[in-house]
Structure 1
Amino acid sequence: MKDNQSAVLYEQACKVMPGGVNSPVRAFGSVGRTPLFISRAKGSKIYDEDNNEFVDYVCSWGPAILGHAREEVIDVVTKAARDGLTYGAPTKREVQLAELIAEIMPSMEMLRLVSSGTEAVMSAIRAARGYTGKDMIIKFRGCYHGHSDGLLVKAGSAALTQSQPDSAGVPKAYSENTLIAEFNHKESVEELFEKYKGKIAGIVVEPVAANMGVVLPQENFLHFLREITLENDALLIFDEVITGFRLSIGGAQAYYGIKPDLTTLGKIVGGGMPIGAYGGRKDIMEMISPLGPVYQAGTLSGNPVATAAGLKTLEILKANPQYYSEMKEKAEYLANTFREYGTHSGEAVHVNQVGSLLSAFFTEKQVTDFESANSSDTKKYAVYFNRLLEQGIYVAPSQYEAMFVSAAHSWEEVKRTAEIIKGKL
């Protein structure tokens, strides 16, 4: 594998960008090498600046569920761009996208489009506080909900491998109303509601945690969250930035049969373009300005190019439900391959998989929460990452991120990946 151009570009980038990147995990710091600079992508493949080809299981951290540069999506994006990149005014397409989202996710009776997942979660929490008149929010250790000040507390994602679960520059007062519970530990939630009775506006949770690696909710955990919020006049907020339209067409809420009060979306909802959304019960969303007193605005919200990509992507997913069963089958195949590798090699490997999401943790423990995820041997993960990369397989450069299977991954590619995982290629 040649990597001269990536190395040259990284040296240039370090002079003008912190760490040479625009998002920390891209720096490849936890896997001991300099990052690849990607020049193009098509289907299941990405290509770096030296034209090295890689089978891509990062999928831009999830949104490339149809694969990269799907022709139908590129066509509508090209047409939309020719009509103008931004208007700062309402468009027909944003109404159509909102209607389609509400149809697919009935809990989102009313919604607003924004420009990122971070903005969506930040806005949903503001709506929850405005609606309930309460200030406190419960989040779970290791779950990542974007980098807004109030939520960058015991966060997951790259913050884990960067050894920065909290962030400098966040005033203590901003996080005082963020309460930390343990994912899959009901008693930690009960204790907070007891201690702060009548003060908690809601719970925000990744229904499948995917930023400390993929960690599944244990039986009845999500139902418990639904019940305890109802009992305490608090709201349940599902952060489906990753799981939305990926775990199933209706997201994790459809997969697990839970109806949250508010939902946040990102990634797939823009088909690869920068976009997010938040929404839920009509009475809550009617608190948003200009109808109500909760202010939120954005010049690029409902951007005409992003809505074109999102609308076409969701239309394709809706018309092809078989994609979900196919992606799940391939993800299960890879998950079983990791398990076989662990058994035959004597390596301590635990695998979590649901739908098209999976993670291989280099630990002897069953991974069910932040503590068990954090027991992983990140040095062994780095060895695994580099071995796959040298064989043309691109996975997340961090132990605590998900592996994504897309509709564009062929069985031939999946089986070749499996052989590489097992060390046979």
Structure 2
Amino acid sequence: MFQLPKSAFASEDILDVHANAAIVIEASTGKVLYEKNADTALGIASMSKMMTEYILLESIKDGKVKWDQEYTPSDYVVKISHNTTLSNVPLRKDMKYKIIDLYHAMAIYSANAATIAIAETIAGSETNFVKMMNEQAKELGLKDYKFVNSTGLNNSDLQGMYPKKYGGPTEENVMSARAAAKLAFHLVNDHPEMLKTSSIPKMVFHAGPGENINMENWNWMLPSLIYGSKDNGVDGLKTGTTDFAGSCFTGTAKRNGMRVITVVLNATDGKGHSTKSSRFDETKKMMDYAFSNFSVKEVYPKNYQISKHKTLPVLKGKEKSVKINTQEPLQLVVKNGEEKNYKPVLVLDKKKLDNDGNLVAPVKKNEVVGKLVAQYKGSHDLGFLYGQKSASVDVVAANDVDKANWFVLMMRGIGHFFSGIWGSVTSTVKGWF
């Protein structure tokens, strides 16, 4: 198991978040707005199901699995599904269940056996699926993680049937707060349709004839549930609780055109106790901070030109220069009052230039020649989820510049030759006086 270093906590916590680790990001850019001990791998419990969900949605997109595909429960799944001490919907050996229904049970009710059923559908076995989880995490650029099963349960809850290749009999999945935020970032941006499911407060699962299970979403911050409010904007994402992990929650909300993603690991109340409300209380604290202090703003519009850098010289072109501008608007997550703390900086692609700083014809319209970087001049910046220090947008050529024909190039050469001679003569004549 991963242990929490005693020195891992930040010395200054502007929010006084009661959790072993936490992070807040803006969802469209990955801008980090707040973090606390964000890079230590800790227990995540059922937040693990975000990875199972991501792999399922990718499989649906790629046509490898269909929503109306039917699944017949294995003995393993049936046995786990009837463990009433776990979050579950009962599954029967004599029934077939559609993947869409198993997905709803997993995403809304955190049903563990339904999650294993999805894993078996995609990979043939949970063991094979755990391999996929770890590989997918690496592909998404996650760090500080280890998956040992598909659900986030402690392996001891899987009645000896856990994937033994990837963990011991009492291991659980672990992940850092930053890694969980990256996973949620990809879920929200790669598969935004999943928010339609994560925002469903209640649903009925048909387990069998006359056996209907009322599922209430464990995300009690949804507007119609006990810790929600009609204007909080919360529409996801995933809770998790075990003795090892404590009270965990990855949340997301959208207000006034800005979406944030929050993560708390082992959230507690002010006395250090894990309660039913602690993960939601600490999440609300972080969300309110983000929405009250930050906003997404367009600081440079599409086709923006930097003063003194409106053109680039073009060698061997019909025209001797080309206009350059931004291809798209540059949006930034700006803290209130810091709008003037950003400076536009042009960073040219040196691979596109010769040794004298010229583009070489032909140049195509919309050809990327560099980037416009919004350079932050303030004193405190947490950077972005994937490590970059500043926001940027592509700078492109505004029009085509065709290569000049041989005659034009020859005449220019002659002109440069005589220009050089005239310059030498004038210099000599000046030397006489």
TM-score, normalised via structure 1 length: 0.28
The structure with more radius of gyration: 2
Q: Of Structure 1 and Structure 2, which has the larger fraction of its residues in strand?
A: 2
More helix by percentage: 1
Q: Which structure has more RCO (C-alpha within 8 Å, separation ≥ 6)?
A: 1
